[in-house]
Amino acid sequence: MPMRVVDVERVRGLPLFCGVSDETFGAVTAGAFLQKFPAGTTLLHEGDPVDFLYVLLDGLVELEGTWNDKETTLAVLRPVSTFIFAAVALDAHALMSARTVERSDILMLSGEALRRAMQTDPRFSYAATLELAGCYRGLVRSLKNQKLRGGAERLANYLITQKVRQGGAETFTLPHEKRLLASLLGMTPENLSRAFATLTGYGVVINGPEVTIARPVVLERLAKPDPLIDNHQPPSVTPLGQAERELWPASRAG
């Protein structure tokens, strides 16, 4: 339950915290929980008031939305990521549910303390602004992806993005169940299957969770990846915030 030293260092190194004063960091992490959750745990339900900022340190978390007995996956988060920051900042109720997909280590930081810290430490609230701006742009990308592309195109771009993020090798492994991927891509599991079958004609070979892109040029001609929609961020050793993930590869003004 209390944070281990190694975890404190990890959190301290996040872009959200690495510039803040020790006082601010202490105040924010004072009443913090570090908890392990099994797979399939609902951390937060749509519509609930939000008391904590969540930081995924290890594992996999799904953010999902519901309406009229249908549900859809809005994002799948990998470590290290914060989530429901916007609701915490505004002290509002959650617009989406959060669920662990795998066993996960999650840090929970008091929303109250965070809001106080944002009002006193300008470096922290600046970092918070950048983090939120990065999250915002991620959603803009998702919305464009959803409204402008068809199912097979979304899948093709997802595969290309995964390939880059996992190091660029010709073959890689899907990070989770296909039914979850279907929901993320905005289609049914049945249609995801058919979309995979379609991509077979573009040099994609499927073997369970293993995917190999045999003819990248052919697949890209279908996918038409676009830096204004897809964020082809290569893997990194140091933990990045959503802001840094958005700024890649630019680092324009600094």
Partner DNA sequence: TCGCTCAATTGATGATCATCAAGCTGCCCG
Partner DNA sequence: CGGGCAGCTTGATGATCATCAATTGAGCGA
- Shortest approach of DNA to residue 128 CB, angstroms? 35
Number of residues that bind DNA (CB under 7 A): 21
Q: Which of 49, 197, 210, 236 binds DNA (CB under 7 A)?
A: 197
* Stretch 64-83: interaction string toward DNA, x if CB under 7 A: ------x-------------
Stretch that binds a copy of itself, among 9-17, 42-50, 196-204, 209-217 (CB under 8 A): 42-50
How many angstroms separate the CA atoms of 12 and 4, rounded? 12
Which part of the chain contacts DNA (CB under 7 A), choosing from 101-109, 130-138, 157-165, 177-185? 177-185
Q: Which of 3, 95, 205, 206 binds DNA (CB under 7 A)?
A: 206
Instruction: Work out whether 139 is an interface residue with a copy of itself (CB under 8 A).
Output: yes
User: Over the Cα atoms of the chain, what is R_g?
Assistant: 19
Decide if 240 contacts 128 (C-beta within 8 A).
no
Q: How many CB atoms lie within 10 A of CB 155?
A: 24
State which of positions 153-182 bind a copy of itself (CB under 8 A): none
How many CB atoms are closer than 10 A to CB 63?
A: 22
Nearer to a copy of itself, 119 or 236 (CB): 119
Q: How remote is the C-alpha of 210 from its chain's centroid?
A: 21
The H or E element spanning position 36 is strand 33-37
Question: Alpha-carbon distance 248 to 131, whole Å?
Answer: 14
d(CA 201, CA 81): 36
Options 42, 72, 161, 233; binder of a copy of itself; rule CB under 8 A: 72
Between 119 and 188, CB nearer to DNA: 188
Question: What x/- string results for residues 86 through 105 when contact with a copy of itself is judged by CB under 8 A?
Answer: xx-xxxxx-xx---------
Q: Which of 43, 80, 106, 192 binds DNA (CB under 7 A)?
A: 192
Q: Find all residues with CB under 8 Å of 39, minimum gap 6, and list them.
A: 100, 101, 102, 103, 104
The H or E element containing residue 76 is strand 70-77
| CA quadruple 209, 213, 219, 225: dihedral sign | positive
Q: Rounded to the nearest 5°, which phi and psi values hold at 101?
A: -95, -40
- Distance, in Å, from the CA atom of 73 to the CA atom of 185, rounded to the nearest integer, reads 8
Least distance CB 201 / DNA (angstroms): 13
- Say which residue the tokens 């908890």 belong to: 35
What residues make contact with a copy of itself under the rule CB under 8 A? 46-47, 49, 65-68, 70-72, 74, 85-87, 89-93, 95-96, 118-123, 125-126, 128-130, 132-137, 139-144, 146-149, 186, 224, 226, 228-229, 243, 246-247, 250, 252-253
What residues make contact with DNA under the rule CB under 7 A? 70, 150-152, 177-179, 186-197, 206, 209
